[in-house]
Structure formats: C-alpha cells, structure tokens
Chain A
Amino acid sequence: MLYKKPQIQYYPYIVQRDDYKCVRCLGCVEQCSYDATFYDDELDVIWNKHEACVGCKRCEALCPTDAIKIVPNPSRPYEHDSWRWELVMDTYLQANTGSIIITGIGNDKRYRIYFDHLLLDACQVTNPSIDPLREPMELRTFLGRKGNKLELEEKSDGSIALKTRLAPQLTLETPIMFSAMSYGSINLNFQESMARAAVELGTYWNTGEGGLHKKLYPYAGRGIVQVASGRFGVSRDYLKVAAAAEIKIGQGAKPGIGGHLPGEKVNADIAETRMIPRGSDAISPAPHHDIYSIEDLRQLIYAIKETTRYEKPVFVKIAAVHNIAAIASGVARAGADVIVVDGFRGGTGATPKSVRDHVGIPVEIAIAVVDKRLRDEGIRNEVSIVATGGVRCSADVIKAIALGADAVYIATSAMLAVGCTLCQTCNTGRCAWGITTNDPRLARRQNPEIASEQLYKLVKGWSHEMKEMLGAMGINSIESLKGNRLRLRTLGLTEKESEILGVLPAGI
C-alpha cells in the first residue's frame, strides 16, 4: 500500500459493495464521517478506503438498495490463544504511534459476566404466581435516606399525622434511570432525547459533568446534576433547579482517571454551559482536589445540602474497585443519600484502553458486597444503592435489584436504542450516528423526536418484562425483591464466588 506503514494493511473491516445494486445515490459517501467512502466521478464508482472504516455500519444501515455490508476482514493471522489478534494490532498501533490507546464504550473483554450465571426463581404449585396483565404490579421506587423509624402523632381531632421529617426522596415509576453523559461528550440532541424520555417515563436522567444547557432547564425537574472533579457548570441555580445532585468520585470505565474534553470541541454553547472559555481544554482532574478523605467528602455533601436547603438527595458515584464495600460504608457515613456503584463494564466517551479493560471489578459482585456490608453495619436504610455499568436487559435489572440495588442507571443500552453499534470510536468525536459528537453536520442525525421515543419504548419494554418476571416469582412489588437473594441461584460459579455474591448454587 502506497505511502503507508505496512501494518495499516491489516485493517479490521471490509466494506463489501454489491456494485450492481449500488445506484450511486452517494448517501454512503455523505454518511461516512471517517472518510472511508468516496465517489470517483470519472469512473462513476464509489470506492472505499477499508483501512479507515471503523465498522459503525452507518452506510450499511442507510443504503437504500441494501448494496453495502460491513464484514470483518477475513485476512487474519493464525489463531493464537495468547496473542489474540486485537493485542497484535494494539502492539502494531503503539509501535507506530508511541501513544496511549484511547477508546470508548465499556470493557469488551471476556471476563465472566455474573449476570449470565444468575438464575431467577419462579412459583410452582405451592405458591401462586401473579399475572401482571390482570393484577396490579408495582415498579415504583423511592431513592433516598429512609431513616430508622417513623414517629406518628395523634392530633387533637383524632387524626394521625406523621411526626418524623422524612429525608428527600426521588420517585421513580420504574427503577431504570439514564446515566450520566455530559454535554460535550454527547450532543444536545441526544441529551434532550434522554431528558424528554425521562420526563415521559417518570424516571430521571443525569446531566453528567458538563453542566446543564439552558435549553434543558424545562427538563431539570427530572434531572440529576453532576458535580465532578472539574466542577464544570456548577452554580447555585444548577443545583437548585435539578431533582438531585450527584458527586462523581469515579467512573466504572476509568476508575482513578479524570476526563479531558479537547479544546477544539469546546464550542460557544459548550463553553457557556461548562462555564469555561471557548476553545480551552476541559480537564477533569483524576481526584477531586478538595476530597482526600471521607471527612472531606462529607464537607462537599453538606455544602451541596446547605445550598439546596436539604430538599434534595445527594448522590455519590463511585467506581467498583477492590475495597468497594469499605468505601461505600464510608460514603454512607459521609452523609450520601444514594450511592451509585459503577461496575467495570460501564461505558465512557474516552478512556485509555489499558484502564478500561483491566481496572475495577464487576458491578454484580460490587453490589452484593456493598449491600451485605451496609446491612451488617446496620446502615443499609441510610442510603439507596444504584447499580450501573453493565446492565444490558430487563433480567439484569431484576438480578441487580435482587442482589441489593434499589435502581439501575443505563447508558450504553440507551445509546444502542438510538443507533449506536458499539464501534468504540466515541473518543474521535466523529460518531457517524450523531451520538458522541458535537459536529453540527453529525449531531443533526439525532432527532430528539425520534430518539426520545426510542428510549421511551426501550424502558417501557424492559418495565413490562420486569413485571412479567416479578409475577412469575409471585411478587407484586419491586420493593419485595430488593436484596432478596433467595430468589436467585448461581449456575457454573465456584463455591467462593457464590458465597461472595451471597447466592446459593442452583439445586439448593
């Protein structure tokens, strides 16, 4: 290949074009944001630079005559169990560039997915199952501090009134929320879609650390605003207008790593929303520079609570790492109302591949140990737990809740709902599906009217399925499943793994 390093020739995808079916409408040329497709008007042929193709399938999806197929390049070296082809390619890439490999989405390695080794219970003979189509089935969930006891008082007229002042609660009609994706990492169209869908569904969406755009203030009542290490866009109004605030300590895809939105992506709108100069790099430091201990975290939590007059719950998001149970216990004692535990399969807009694939622990285990630790310490009622990072379907939600979570956050599934094909090039800012890009040419590919409906349908479908599964278990309220590990069994796990999950093996 002329003018190229030899290894470039081992590209991962081939654009297969059925030249007879191709009518040269040039749609694919326009759709490709990676410059892999171009039109030669002299020959009247559309050519592909296969080495530039990232496999996002945008051209394939929009080809009006079904003339394109993106296929993995069949030219592979010998299968090698130690040197998988991906490792070989990464080695070539780094030898050619000398850089860190940056990637997007979540961990794609073959670690055991514990959700797939957990089985749900169902009722037979001795206890009746429930038909959710005929009987009421409750998915409503409340997030926030629950307190130790309720005190009631009898009024002079004989009526009973609640004496205890309840901590602020979020009311979710279904225990599925949209996870934090910042304006900057995604564009406003997609963020607006999530916000609209959350309002429609009676659940919550999260702004991520990029601030809250003026256009989205009407949806802030169902919004959770994030306070991350960069403190972008944080102001009194930002905290007051939202339903809750979330302090992001860590992210599952990159525990211990900060963020970096390159200056060239910081356009006027993003600059205003993030409250930084236009064109300047938006750097989120790895730690919060004012949080070096649980006591420091407590100060920030209470600073936010003071600002919001103790009317809003404060979330703390931590990545699932090795000492997660102890950390969560500390976070609970620091005064958090909700702890978000982000597993190592969680997604991101950009992270070093080495960190994404090798740092952290699975969310299933993290939830199980956090729930157990907080119960043992008698403070489980002080906090709600939100599981995120690797929730792929309604069964995963049910399993996460049975392991001890109160609700889940979804983000990768939300992106899939609006077209994402997991090509893992979010970091380039050239997402051909118009999700993780702010290029005006590409961002318009997300029409909030269509995208919000897709998101709404996805969560609605999951909720229906969850009701079916609950009904099969003879449970008519999601509350009754929370931490109910007796309704789970493990299959194909070691005794120790089952013990850590707190779940009995199948057959017992």
Chain B
Amino acid sequence: MKKVIIAEDFCIACYNCEVACIATHSKSQDPVKAYKRENLRSRSNALVEVKGPVAFSLMCRHCKHPWCLDACISGAIQRLDNGIVYLDEERCVGCWGCVLACPYGASHPNLKGDDKRAFKCDLCINRLDKGLNPACVEACPNKALLYDETLTETVEVLSR
C-alpha cells in the first residue's frame, strides 16, 4: 500500500509537516486559527524528532499487523480495507493501550485536551479521497516525506 515514506537523510526539521497536519485536521483549516483558537498545538500526528544532525518526522506506519489494534479494548482502532489503520476518536475510551503498544511511538495520548483520548495519523483520509497527497508530504519543502508504495515491508513489525 502507499504510505508516507520517511527520507531521513533530507529532513531539515522545519516543522512544516506538523503545522500542515494540525491545520488539515482542524475545523478552520487555517494554521493560525488551529493553533491559537482551536488549541490544537499538541495535536500533530506527525512528530519531528531532532537530535544533533539527525532529524526525521515520524507518523503512524500503518502496519500490516498493528499492535495498537490488538491493544485497543474498545474497538476504536480498525484496519480499513485500503490498509489505513484508523482510530475512531468517538469510540476511544482513553485507556492508552495503543500508546503503550505502538513500537514507533506514533500513537499519542491527548494530554492537553479535555477528553484524554488517544490520537494518531489517519493518512489524511479526507485528502486522499479528494485525490490529494497527505498534508505532511505536500508541505515538506525538501522531499523528506514521500507518499509512495512502501519500498520494503521488512522494517514493519510482523510478529510479536
């Protein structure tokens, strides 16, 4: 399946992916309003990690065999037909089992929100429906995020 591929060598830590992610998952679709009025600052599904010269943006890998799905006690996490591992926040009870289970740290607890539910990347399912690339890929100025067929599945966690 097509996923967001992280070209780690070219991430420049500009955080544009985070801003794009937050804006596209906001009501207003505007970065300034999303951060300042909707208070979504800590709600980016993509997280830029920086240490020394190494930087990359990490979001859900949409595993073939998602551990988060196994850990979910309420059935909020499903694997859709197109391969997207989707977290339905309406059904999430906030147990954070997925947060513990995810080997990539790609499922996040909503610590600053009121409901304390978990949230994770939905591969911009709304944008894909419109034929657009995921927002983070579109926003990346250095082609460090690519939306393409996965080159190899070996990096995926296949069994426990």
Contact = CB atoms under 8 A, between A and B. Distances in A.
Interface string A132-166: 00000000000000000000000000000000000
A25 B15 contact: yes
Contacts of A445: 12, 142
Nearest to B140: A447
A308 B82 CA distance: 59
A64 B19 contact: yes
B16 A62 contact: yes
A26 interface: yes
Given A23-B31, A450-B143, A30 B52 contact: no
B32 interface: yes
B10 A447 contact: yes
A83 interface: no
A38 to B, nearest CB: 14
A344 to B, nearest CB: 35
Contacts of B12: 30-31, 434, 444-445
A307 interface: no
Size category of the B interface is 20 to 34
A440 interface: yes
A24 B44 CA distance: 13
B50 interface: yes
A439 to B, nearest CB: 7
B41 interface: yes
Nearest to A445: B12
A37 to B, nearest CB: 13
A445 B55 CA distance: 11
A441 B53 contact: yes
Interface of A is mostly: loop
B49 to A, nearest CB: 12
B147 interface: no
B9 interface: yes
A62 B141 contact: yes
A23 B141 contact: no
A3 interface: no
A27 interface: yes
Interface in B14-52: 14-16, 18-20, 31-32, 35-36, 41, 50, 52
Contacts of A30: 12-15, 50, 55
A476 to B, nearest CB: 39
Contacts of A444: 9-12, 53, 55, 142
A21 B41 CA distance: 13
B43 to A, nearest CB: 12
Contacts of B142: 444-445, 447, 450
Interface in A1-46: 20-21, 23-27, 30-31
Contacts of A20: 32, 36
A24 B35 CA distance: 9
By CB atoms of chain B within 10 A, which of A25, A439, A445 has the most?
A: A25
Nearest to A448: B10
Contacts of A449: 143
A27 B20 CA distance: 12
Nearest to B139: A64
B27 to A, nearest CB: 16
B18 A25 contact: yes
A441 B14 CA distance: 12
A20 B144 CA distance: 29
A389 B28 CA distance: 50
Interface in A181-207: none
Nearest to B19: A64
A96 interface: no
A65 interface: yes
Contacts of B15: 25-27, 30, 64
A27 B16 contact: yes
A113 to B, nearest CB: 33
A215 to B, nearest CB: 13
A65 B32 contact: yes
A184 to B, nearest CB: 18
A371 B109 CA distance: 72
A63 B12 CA distance: 13
Contact of A62 (B9, B14, B53): B14
Contact of A23 (B19, B52, B139, B143): B19
A32 to B, nearest CB: 11
Interface of A: 20-21, 23-27, 30-31, 62, 64-65, 434, 439-441, 444-445, 447, 449-450
27 contacts: A20-B32, A21-B32, A23-B19, A23-B32, A23-B36, A23-B41, A24-B35, A25-B15, A25-B16, A26-B15, A27-B14, A27-B19, A30-B12, A30-B13, A30-B15, A30-B55, A62-B14, A64-B31, A65-B19, A441-B55, A444-B9, A444-B10, A444-B11, A444-B12, A444-B55, A445-B142, A449-B143
Given A23-B31, A31-B12, A62-B16, 5 more contacts: A30-B13, A30-B50, A439-B53, A444-B9, A444-B142
